[in-house]
């Protein structure tokens, strides 16, 4: 160890914490910690070795620091972010790119030298008078081909506590990598606080250095900006995967239970608040993960793991009817962090859509709240934020899949792409093949914006593979990586699109919350060739008889022919407009787009126009 690093560590760490750090014989990690100490100048440093004692220390520090408050139910706490720190800050999340490096106009970046200088200036002295927390985690199951070791440095006990719930312990994993420099690094400071929340939001920055595998985050507490191993690590992993020949995707992983005890594993990519977690949590199915997956080719098949071991989920509309498993976990004793919900005077959390009567007063992210309270612009303050969250371990859920931590992962039988779409796509459709699935279902994905990101809601936005905010490659290369990934695989996963948000002429949703169960179970039957399908210009859709049977058996509902026609009508003008819209994006903003993308667009356009000439603009599935 270099003398200067050793001296910095010995001066700041007490004997026990120094021992824990030096037990990990990794010079690069030691230097990272020492440099962070010199930069941020903390009062003290705590190193977490994943022992029960150390994990309890972090939980207690979150309460003592007032970053979390205890609730009435044992193990439950609540965290509040500031009024203007309630979502991912897309504008100030940027890649640090060296001169001559280009990720394309679609990805947010800044000059590495200038950006590093800026973010380090905000981090300088940011931990004076505070305790620095050094934690180790593992992305993916430990001791597997999927494992990535990580070190998180933060001055926020809430961030550290959240990661202890969301990720697998990594102290022992770090021992296993010895002196390898191949690990991810995260440095976060919440910055100056006011009423226990980040004050200088105008200086909020989340900067990602792909070359160094490091993420800097400052002047923010919101999980999407600070929990380094989540979407910030996904950006690092996508880049790493591209170099090494695997995929890191914004996907859930679930076990879909078919006839005769059969389990088929699905992955699914959905933008925030589009049904991703609720799909992975469907009744009767099992969950491996709700957010991020690593996929590798192993033994002639595609296998995947959940990168995480917990859920940082949107809590709005979670209720006992629509989300019974999650609701049960959220209303019973266990280690859970609620974020930005309303807390009543008796210590109970209340959130939008939970199915309970709205309290008239309590505490929320704005401070003391009462019905009718307005902000400084005269806008009424919601009791619970639209993007309020919960954090829970998957192992706490009754539907946790038995292979959550299997080192080899699970085989992928199908992949689903879904977003918010009020007027174009049918509820479920199978792609003709892998290539058309990746391009027409994944690379054409659009979705209407929600409260999960800053900015205006309800705007239709392009969101390639539901990964637009996190791709750390030129988009053309990212598409090509996905296309190439099936090479050498005898039976690639089936690819489907789903759309839970189709609206009728009256503006109301055509689907109930549980209808998605039917779409997923139909897709599982298709994977095994148990049901036939109807060919459309853009893919394969269910036959009426099969859906009617599933609705009756699974939901005890009558699915009428009128329902079927309204939902599965092929809306040719809308589909053509979608192709034109997305094609224009690729032509103008993605100069490295593979030619096959445009070929697929043209093929679908020709099929749609042929069908239009024969059957009209709006085609009943019974006419196909």
Neighbours of 4 (CB within 10 A): 12
DSSP letters for 189-203: E--SEETTEE--GGG
Pairwise CA distance, residues 271 & 60, whole Å: 34
Which residue among 135, 164, 274, 304 is the active-site one?
Answer: 274
Q: Supply angle C-alpha 17, 21, 23, rounded to 5.
A: 115
Between CA 271 and CA 468 the distance in angstroms is: 9
DSSP β-bridge partners for residue 313 = 390
Phi/psi of residue 469, each to 5°? -75, -10
- What CA–CA distances, in Å, run from 615 to 534, 541, 624? 15, 17, 9
- In the residue annotation, 48 being an active-site residue is answered as no
- Structure token pair of residue 429: 């459709």
- Among 573, 574, 424, which Cα is nearest to 502's? 424
Burial of 54 (0-12, 13-18, 19+ CB in 10 A): middle
Q: How far apart are CA 441 and CA 460, in angstroms?
A: 16
Residue at token pair 């009508």? 569
Q: Which long-range contacts (CB under 8 A, 24 or more apart) does 370-373 make?
A: none
Q: What is the DSSP secondary structure assignment for residue 359, as one 8-state letter?
A: P
Which class for 379: exposed (0-12), middle (13-18), buried (19 or more C-beta within 10 A)?
exposed
d(CA 251, CA 249): 5
Mention every residue, 6+ apart, whose C-beta is less than 8 A from residue 419: 270, 271, 274, 445, 446, 447, 448, 463, 466, 499
User: Could you tell me where the DSSP H helices lie in 167-313?
Assistant: 171-177, 223-226, 233-244, 276-280
Q: What are phi and psi of 72, to 5 degrees?
A: -65, -40
Q: Do residues 154 and 134 lie in contact, with contact meaning Cβ atoms separated by under 8 Å?
A: no
Residues 6 or more apart whose CB falls under 8 angstroms from that of 260 comprise none
Tokens (6 digits) for 602: 């043209």
d(CA 120, CA 110) in angstroms, rounded, equals 14
Enzyme catalytic residues: 274
């Amino acid at each position: 160890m270099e003398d200067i690093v050793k001296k910095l560590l010995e001066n700041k760490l007490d004997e026990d914490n120094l021992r824990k750090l030096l037990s990990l014989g990794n010079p690069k990690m030691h230097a990272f910690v020492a440099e962070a100490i010199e930069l941020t100048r903390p009062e003290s440093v705590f190193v977490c070795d994943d022992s029960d004692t150390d994990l309890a220390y972090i939980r207690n520090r979150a309460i003592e620091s007032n970053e979390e408050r205890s609730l009435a139910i044992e193990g439950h706490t609540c965290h509040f972010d500031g009024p203007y720190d309630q979502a991912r800050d897309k504008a100030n999340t940027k890649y640090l790119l060296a001169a001559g490096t280009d990720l394309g106009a679609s990805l947010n970046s800044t000059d590495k030298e200038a950006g590093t200088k800026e973010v380090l200036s905000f981090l300088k002295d940011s931990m004076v008078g505070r305790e620095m927390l050094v934690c180790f985690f593992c992305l993916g199951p430990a001791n597997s081909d999927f494992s990535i070791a990580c070190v998180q440095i933060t001055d926020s006990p809430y961030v550290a506590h959240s990661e202890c719930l969301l990720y697998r312990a990594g102290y022992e994993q770090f021992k296993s990598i010895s002196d390898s420099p191949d690990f991810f690094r995260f440095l976060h400071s919440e910055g100056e606080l006011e009423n226990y929340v980040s004050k200088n939001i105008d200086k909020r920055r989340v900067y990602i250095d792909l070359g160094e595998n490091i993420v800097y985050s400052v002047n923010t507490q919101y999980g999407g900006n600070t929990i380094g191993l989540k979407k910030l690590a996904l950006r690092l992993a996508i880049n790493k995967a591209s170099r090494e020949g695997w995929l890191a995707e914004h996907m859930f992983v679930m076990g879909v239970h078919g006839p005769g005890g059969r389990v088929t594993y699905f992955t699914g990519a959905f933008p925030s608040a589009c049904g991703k977690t609720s799909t992975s949590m469907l009744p009767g199915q099992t969950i491996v993960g709700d957010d991020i997956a690593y996929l590798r080719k192993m033994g002639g098949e595609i296998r995947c793991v959940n990168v995480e071991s917990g859920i940082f989920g949107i809590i709005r509309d979670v209720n006992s009817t629509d989300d019974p498993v999650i609701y049960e976990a959220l209303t019973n004793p266990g280690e859970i962090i609620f974020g930005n919900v309303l807390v009543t005077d008796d210590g109970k959390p209340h959130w939008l859509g939970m199915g309970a009567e709205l309290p008239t007063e309590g505490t929320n992210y704005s401070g003391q709240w009462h019905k009718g309270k307005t902000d400084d612009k005269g806008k009424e303050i919601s009791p619970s934020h639209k993007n309020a969250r919960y954090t829970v371990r998957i192992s706490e859920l009754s539907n946790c899949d038995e292979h959550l931590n299997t080192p080899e992962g699970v085989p992928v039988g199908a992949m689903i792409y879904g977003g918010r779409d009020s007027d174009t796509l049918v509820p479920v459709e199978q792609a003709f093949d892998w290539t058309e699935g990746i391009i027409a279902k994944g690379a054409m994905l659009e979705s209407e914006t929600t409260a999960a990101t800053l900015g205006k809601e309800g705007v239709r936005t392009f969101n390639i593979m539901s990964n637009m905010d996190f791709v750390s490659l030129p988009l053309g290369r990212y598409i090509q990586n996905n296309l190439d990934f099936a090479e050498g695989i005898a039976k690639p996963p089936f690819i489907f699109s789903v759309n839970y948000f189709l609206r009728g002429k009256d503006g109301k949703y055509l689907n109930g919350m549980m209808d998605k169960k039917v779409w997923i179970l139909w897709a599982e039957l298709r994977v095994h060739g148990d049901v036939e399908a109807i060919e459309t210009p853009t893919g394969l859709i269910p036959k009426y008889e099969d859906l009617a049977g599933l609705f009756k058996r699974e939901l005890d509902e009558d699915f009428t022919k009128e329902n079927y026609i309204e939902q599965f009508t092929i809306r040719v003008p809308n589909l053509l407009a979608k192709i034109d819209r997305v094609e224009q994006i690729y032509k103008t903003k993605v100069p490295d787009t593979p030619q096959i993308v445009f070929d697929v667009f043209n093929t679908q356009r020709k099929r749609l126009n042929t069908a239009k000439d024969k059957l009209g603009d709006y085609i009943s599935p019974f006419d196909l």
